[in-house]
Amino acid sequence: MIRQALIAAALLGAAPAHAFAPAAGQETRVPRMGSFLEWVADGSRGLYIRADSGRWYYARIQDDCPGLHPHAALSFQTAPNGDFDRFSAIRAEGSRCLVSSVTASDGPPWRRRR
């Protein structure tokens, strides 16, 4: 019995991390935001973020963020551990924009059409 439990635990530990990825649309957080790969603005209400893992996330902004546009200079204000979640903020062209939610995504619309 103990041997079976140890084998099961070893198999679970060896499972790939993407097997436990949140479903698209489910509230989550972007881990290690300091090493994200890219972002794509979705108007002034949100942006798509591709993490260093290659997964896409969508960060919805609480109110319109006037500085958020495709070529804006952004900085991300994350949690102390470096994760980006619904308690984080974005500084875009001098405007501080609060995040209302971060959800798993399939990426920007142009990417999903491929």
Q: pTM (2 decimals)?
A: 0.72
Give 47-65 pLDDT, tens digit per residue.
999 998 999 999 999 988 8
Q: How far apart are CA 56 and CA 54, in angstroms?
A: 7
81-109, pLDDT tens digit by residue?
889 999 999 999 888 999 999 999 998 88
Query: Domain extents for the chain?
Result: 24-112
Q: Cβ of 114: how many Cβ atoms within 10 Å?
A: 5
